[in-house]
Amino acid sequence: MRLKPFEDIRTGRFTYDLPDDRIALFPAGIRDNSKLVIRFKDGTLREDIFRNMPGYLSGGRVLFLNNSRVIPARLVFRKAPGPRIEIFCLSPVQPAEYTRALSSTGSCTWECMVGNMRRFHAAPVNLNVMVDHVPVNLKAEMLSRSGNTAVVRFSWENESTSFATILSEAGQTPLPPYIKREATAFDRSRYQTVYSKKEGSVAAPTAGLHFTEHVFEQLQLCGIACHELTLHVGAGTFQPIKTEKVEDHRMHGEVFQITEDLVRILVGMNSRAACVGTTSVRTLESMYWLGVKAIVHKGALHEELLIDQWEPYDLPKEHTMKHAFEALGEWMVKQRRKEIWASTSLMIVPGYDFKVVDTLITNFHQPKSSLLLLIAAFIGDSWREVYEYAIKHDFRFLSYGDSSLLFR
């Protein structure tokens, strides 16, 4: 019996030596002045700066960017006179939709990571927050616990104040764990893309951090259309693969939005897409597989739209982009829905058959990470040459680091 691509992959193949001093603790002084390595289809490499990136894309291409906005999701409580308890909001539970959860007044419930879980479990904690010069007491209590996460209910007495406002006043920017410093006011703006709009991410779609108005102007001059999509990035994006076999790793899920306009754009495309970041790749590829599922099930889709981790490896591969996106659009019309939210746990590993994307702008990723496997799936074993070049030529790595432009 023939193995599926993910059934014979050892995690140890996807690692490299990353010195601590190559991990960028701060971003480049000017966003688009970061370094860029270009990997062409024939495997050759070239170095430039990000400001010149548009010149490497051919006219008529369509570029997709993730407009999700990072929320200040890290709250620090102190038990007087006891220990510091850090609560990191991961995803809303009640209400379950991000916009409603952030606009909640009075109370809301989130799945959270908790620092000092044992001490928090014993009793609720309180935090005094000043909102428009008015004190608001925020209470956090644990409802349940599973592993290193907990379901936490937040409540506050001032019901004219939204949870988003409380986070804005009291929350800290959730910098990745490998940026070993405290977040500052500077990170509030710098750990956001200039085009971020829809709040919900707890990590930035970092490939977009290099974009500036100048870059967008150059893209327009080069005849490259830019379109936005939304996938809310979860903290699981930083989780290394700890299992020996890749197939034993459980991929985190992330929610993304499908709009009528986005589907229409995808149906009308005459070429493959260019993506800013792995989150945009996962969104478009997941949308394609939802369309395939609509075809397979003759126009019927479960109301809870989901692409599971290995599901696409079992679905039929012969359907064109146009056919799949048309089927997805037809389903939305039947449901009388102009926009919907879906969830994806899609894990892209070597052997994956890319259906939508052939060009990728992305930062440099951690060893033994799902993101590095996606890069290996995208450009094959030449990922090593790209990373070796970046190490040798003093590129800066990870979220605040430099970038690459990869052609398949």
Each residue's pLDDT tens digit, 312-338: 999 999 999 999 999 999 999 999 999
Domain boundary among 171, 206, 241: 171
Q: Are 299 and 293 in contact (CB under 8 A)?
A: no
The answer on 108 and 24 residing in a single domain is: no
Q: What is the per-residue pLDDT across 218-227, written as a single tens digit (0 to 9) for each?
A: 999 999 999 9
The answer on 165 and 32 residing in a single domain is: no
Residue 338 lies in a domain: yes
pLDDT for position 2: 61
Pick from 303, 72, 93: nearest CA to 167: 72
| Strand, helix or coil for residue 161 | coil
pLDDT for position 365: 97
The answer on 24 and 93 residing in a single domain is: no
The answer on 55 and 78 residing in a single domain is: no
Residue 360 lies in a domain: yes
Structure tokens that stand for 332 in this block: 């939305």
The answer on 155 and 57 residing in a single domain is: no
* Cβ partners under 8 Å of residue 274, min gap 6: 57, 61, 62, 63, 64, 224, 357, 358, 359, 360, 361
Helix ranges, 63-174 (H): 98-102, 117-122, 163-170
Per-residue confidence of the chain (408 residues) as pLDDT tens digits? Answer: 566 778 889 999 999 999 999 999 999 999 999 999 999 999 999 999 999 999 999 888 999 999 999 999 999 998 766 788 999 999 999 999 999 999 999 999 999 999 888 888 778 899 999 998 889 999 999 999 988 789 999 999 887 899 999 999 999 999 999 999 999 999 999 999 999 999 999 999 999 999 999 999 999 999 999 999 999 999 888 788 999 999 999 998 999 999 999 999 999 998 999 999 999 999 999 999 999 999 998 877 877 799 999 999 999 999 999 999 999 999 999 999 999 999 999 999 999 999 999 999 999 999 999 999 999 999 999 999 999 999 999 999 999 999 999 999
Residue 184 lies in a domain: no
* Model confidence, pTM: 0.94
What is the CATH classification number for the domain harbouring 321? 3.40.1780.10
The answer on 221 and 333 residing in a single domain is: yes
The answer on 262 and 127 residing in a single domain is: no
Structure tokens that stand for 156 in this block: 């506050």
Residue 394 lies in a domain: yes
The answer on 267 and 123 residing in a single domain is: no
pLDDT for position 8: 84
The answer on 197 and 149 residing in a single domain is: no
Alpha-carbon Rg for the chain, nearest whole angstrom, is: 22
Residue 185 lies in a domain: no
The answer on 351 and 214 residing in a single domain is: yes
Torsional sign, CA 298, 299, 300, 301: positive
As for how many domains the chain has, the answer is 2
Strands 107-115 and 84-94: antiparallel
Domain residue limits at 82: 73-171
pLDDT for position 147: 80
Residue 136 lies in a domain: yes
Residue 225 lies in a domain: yes
The answer on 142 and 279 residing in a single domain is: no
The answer on 82 and 65 residing in a single domain is: no
Residue 127 lies in a domain: yes
